Structure formats: structure tokens, C-alpha cells
Structure 1
Amino acid sequence: MAARPGSVTFVAVLTYINGILNVVGGVILLIARDQVAAPTGGGVAGVTTAAIVSILLGVIVIIVARGLLRGSSGARVVVTVVMIVDILNGVLLLFTNQVASGVVQILWSLLIVVLLFTRRANGFFAGR
């Protein structure tokens, strides 16, 4: 059984942080959607959709992040899929003229996916 590499622990911490930030950011965006949509020119529906997707993804990520620490391949797959959806949500943010938020969300999610598939991480998840 392979020892858990530091990169997997780091990814689990980033994943928890990502989930919390998605929920908090989604709630804030949902509350302030009228103020965000008007000045940016993005539609209220687009901002509302991005907020709800952020909240849902955040909850899912928080739930499965623990599995990463245990070496669960299922958790790895779920987090990877959620990060891909998170990247798509970041692209949606770009189209609602929230460029900074979208870029940060895309880069953060890409970092998590890349670190989940390093050689040592692959060995850890294969050994479970």
C-alpha cells in the first residue's frame, strides 16, 4: 500500500477550500445578482445559474474531499468531474463579464486536476 503523497494531501486541502469558496461565493453572487448583472451587462439568469452551479459544486466537493485523503478512486473521479464542471462554470463567468472570478476559478480547478494525476498520486490511488 503506497503512502499518501504530499500532493494528494495538498489537493485534498485545496479541494476543501474550493468547496467552501464555491458555496460562499455562490451565496454572495445569488444575493447580489441584481447588482452584479446590471453593471456588467450580463443577464440575471446567467448570474443566477452561475451562482447555483457554484453552490451545488461546492457542496459536492466538500462531501467527497474526505475520500481523497483515504485514497478513494471514486472520490478522485468525482472531484475530477466536478472540477471540469467548475472549469465550465468559470467559462460561464467569463461570458457574464466576471473575468477575474472566471479566470481564478478555471486556474484553481486546473491545478487540482493536474495534481490529482501526478505519478505519485496515480500510484497512491492505484494501491488502494
Structure 2
Amino acid sequence: MAARPGSVTFVAVLTYINGILNIIGGVILLITRDQMAGPNGGSVAGITTAAIISILLGIIVVIVARGLLRGSPGARTVVTVVMVIDILNGVLMLFTGQLASGIVQILWSLLIIVLLFTRRANGFFTGR
């Protein structure tokens, strides 16, 4: 059984942070949706949907992050899929004028994906 590489522990911590930030962001979006809707914003229904999706993805990521620490290949797959969705959301942010947020989200998600698939991480996840 391979020892857990530091990069996997680091990714698990980043994943926990990502999930918590998704939950917090979704809750803030839910609370402020009426102020965000309007002529230059989206519809209340669209904002509510985005907030709920953010909260649900955050909960999934927090739950699955524990599996990363145990070396679960399924957890790595779920986190990778969620990070790809986050990248796509970051690209969408770029096209909606949220340049800094989009770039940060894309780079954060790419970092997590890259660290999940290093040689040592591959050995850890396949050795389970």
C-alpha cells in the first residue's frame, strides 16, 4: 500500500476549501438574489438555480474530499468531474464580465486536477 503523497493531502485541503467556499457563495447568492436580479442582472429563478447548484456541488465536494485522503479512485473521479464543471463555470464567468473571478476559478480547479494526477498520486490511488 503506497503512502499518501503530500500533494494528495494538499489537494484534499484545497478540495475542502473549494467545497466550503461553494456552499458559502451559494448561500450568499440565495440571500442577495433579489438585489442581484434586475435590468443588468439575471432572473431571480436563474440566480436561485445557480445558488442551489453551488450549494449542492459544495456539499458533494466536502463529502468526497474525505475519500481523497483514503485513496478512493471514485472520490478522485468525482472531484475531477466537479473541477471540470468549475472550469466551465469559470469560462462562463469570463464571458459575463467577471474576469478576475473566472481566472481564479479556472486556475484553482486546474491546480487541483494537475495535483490529483501526478505520478505519486496515481500510484497512491491505483495502489488501493
* TM interval, short-chain normalised: 0.7 to 0.9
The residue that corresponds to 1:15 in the other structure is 15
Matches within 5 A, 1:105-120: 105-120=105-120
Matches within 5 A, 1:1-128: 1-38=1-38, 41-44=40-43, 45-128=45-128
Q: Cα–Cα, structure 1 residues 114 and 37, in superposed 2: closer, same or farther, change >3 Å? A: farther
Report if the CA contact (8 A) 2:5-2:121 is conserved: yes
Please report the TM-score for the alignment, with normalisation by the length of structure 1: 0.87
- Structure 2, unaligned stretches of length 5 or more? none
Please report the TM-score for the alignment, with normalisation by the length of structure 2: 0.87
Instruction: Report % sequence identity.
Output: 83
C-alpha displacement of 1:88:
1.9
3-state SS of 1:3 partner: coil
Cα RMSD after superposing both structures: 1.8
- Structure 1, unaligned stretches of length 5 or more? none
**Number of equivalences:** 127
